[in-house]
Amino acid sequence: MDTGDGAYIDAESLDFKEEARKESMDVAKVMIDDAIAEKLDVKKFSFTSKSTFRIADLGCSVGPNTFNVMQNIIDAVQHKCQSQGLTSRTPEFQVFFNDIPSNNFNTLFTTLPPERPYFAAGVPGSFHGRLFPESSLHFVHSFYALHFLSEVPKELLNKNSPAWNKGRISYTCAQDEVAHAYAAQFAEDMATFFDARAKELVVDGIMVLIMPAIPNVGQSSVHGLMSDCLGSSLMDMAKEGLISEAQVDLFNLPFYITSPKEMREIVEGNGCFRIEKMEIQNPRSGIDAPITGKSCVMQRRAGLEGMISKHFGAEIVDDLFYRFSKKIDEVSNLMESQFQEGTQLSIVLKRI
């Protein structure tokens, strides 16, 4: 499948990624249902038979799971309207699927459910800025997208900077200055994100954010361990002359894994949202199968292959992820223990 930047992703990897996303979404579904049942006051929206309830899915990707989530949200809103005696005033629904312009919107729209109970529209653009008119949305959802930064911190690419990230591709196990640069970029991105959503959501509108996380700032995590294994695999290839070490020095993963404490501070700093619920979860809690190198490779490959191919060339991808798989197998027991502490942050916010 074309990723939008000239690279192609193995179909099996995409299928596995969707299965992994489904497991995480199943954990988050209960929180979404409860948020709508307990926190969404549909009477305040003054719906009539001609009203429209607008939902935005930010960072939607292209898989079928996003359609299931939208259907679940609509079912929950309809049930809420019925429970409050608003059966005759149930609104129509419009869903906006948002992602960066390189997302394969053709694939997204050719797989739309034909009997969907909503009007669909695509909104290309970065969710780090404004996307919708003021006070036009009632519900915002984002799943495993907000950890992506708007850009790699510039300090990481400057050889004269204390944050020059030589020989590494992320902030885990790097110098403190590297981690601080990533954290600062994430905080800046989230500040602009919440500023934009504060303008776009109606008062009493709901936002549910699901993202990878760590329990505490600076704590080691399964996310960091996988990044280290991938970076180590690249450095092994550089030592063997298959790629240059300079290429590795200039490659930094553009994402940051936050903690509940950091997110609470960012939300409270914005001042336009009330935290209705925030909890860190283990999406593997109902899975008996052990973590394997193959499972991690397929999930990571689907998300990173386009980026890696663009920087290093597509010819290294198979070898890189084979090496990555072997390294993950060596640390699988450690990864299992880190999963138990929680790797997924779910937040319910209300616009005030």
With helix as H, strand as E and coil as C, how does the chain read?
CECCCCCECCHHHHHHHHHHHHHHHHHHHHHHHHHHHHHCCHHHHCCCCCCEEEEEEECCCCCCHHHHHHHHHHHHHHHHHHHCCCHHHCCEEEEEEEECCCCCHHHHHHCCCCCCCCEEEEEECCCCCCCCCCCCEEEEEEECCCCECCCCCHHHHCCCCCCCCCCCCCCCCCCHHHHHHHHHHHHHHHHHHHHHHHHHEEEEEEEEEEEEECCCCCCCCHHHHHHHHHHHHHHHHHHCCCCCHHHHHCCCCCECCECHHHHHHHHHHHCCEEEEEEEEECCCCCCCCCCCHHHHHHHHHHHHHHHHHHHHCHHHHHHHHHHHHHHHHHCHHHHHHHHHCCCEEEEEEEEC
Percent of the chain scored above 70 by pLDDT? 89
Q: Is the pLDDT of residue 18 over 60?
A: no
For the chain, the C-alpha Rg in angstroms (whole number) is 21
Mean pLDDT for 226-239 is: 96
Which tens digits make up the pLDDT trace of 259-312?
999 999 999 999 999 999 999 988 765 555 666 767 778 888 988 999 999 999
Which tens digits make up the pLDDT trace of 30-63?
899 999 999 999 888 876 667 899 999 999 988 7
Contact 278, 349 (CB under 8 A): no
Contact 283, 24 (CB under 8 A): yes
Of 266, 243, 260, 231, give the one whose Cα is nearest residue 313: 243
Residue 23: per-residue pLDDT: 65
Which tens digits make up the pLDDT trace of 191-200?
999 999 999 9
Pick from 89-93, 216-220, 233-237 the range whose average pLDDT is largest. 233-237
Residue 297: per-residue pLDDT: 83
Better-scored residue on pLDDT, 218 or 186: 186
Mean per-residue pLDDT over the chain, rounded: 89
Better-scored residue on pLDDT, 151 or 11: 151
Residue 291: per-residue pLDDT: 67
Q: Would you state the structure tokens that stand for residue 162, as one six-digit string?
A: 């204390």
Better-scored residue on pLDDT, 217 or 278: 278
Residue 5: per-residue pLDDT: 41
Mean pLDDT for 230-247 is: 97
Contact 344, 30 (CB under 8 A): no
| Residues contacting residue 154 through CB under 8 Å, at least 6 positions apart | none
Q: Is the pLDDT of residue 244 over 60?
A: yes
Q: Is the pLDDT of residue 6 over 70?
A: no
Residue 12: per-residue pLDDT: 47
Angle separating helix axes 317-330 and 222-239, nearest 10 degrees: 130
Q: Is the pLDDT of residue 210 over 90?
A: yes
Instruction: Give the burial class of 127: count Cβ atoms within 10 A of its Cβ; 0-12 exposed, 13-18 middle, 19 or more buried.
Output: buried
Residue 288: per-residue pLDDT: 54
Q: Is the pLDDT of residue 321 over 80?
A: yes
The Cα–Cα gap between 26 and 58 comes to 18
The Cα–Cα gap between 223 and 230 comes to 11
pTM tops 0.85: yes
The Cα–Cα gap between 275 and 346 comes to 11
Angle separating helix axes 260-270 and 176-200, nearest 10 degrees: 40
> Can you tell me which residue has the tokens 């591709």?
169
Residue 9: per-residue pLDDT: 42
Domains of the chain: 6-351 (3.40.50.150)
Per-residue pLDDT band at 165 (split at 50, 70, 90): very high
Pairing of strands 344-351, 273-281: antiparallel
Residue 293: per-residue pLDDT: 64
Better-scored residue on pLDDT, 340 or 172: 172
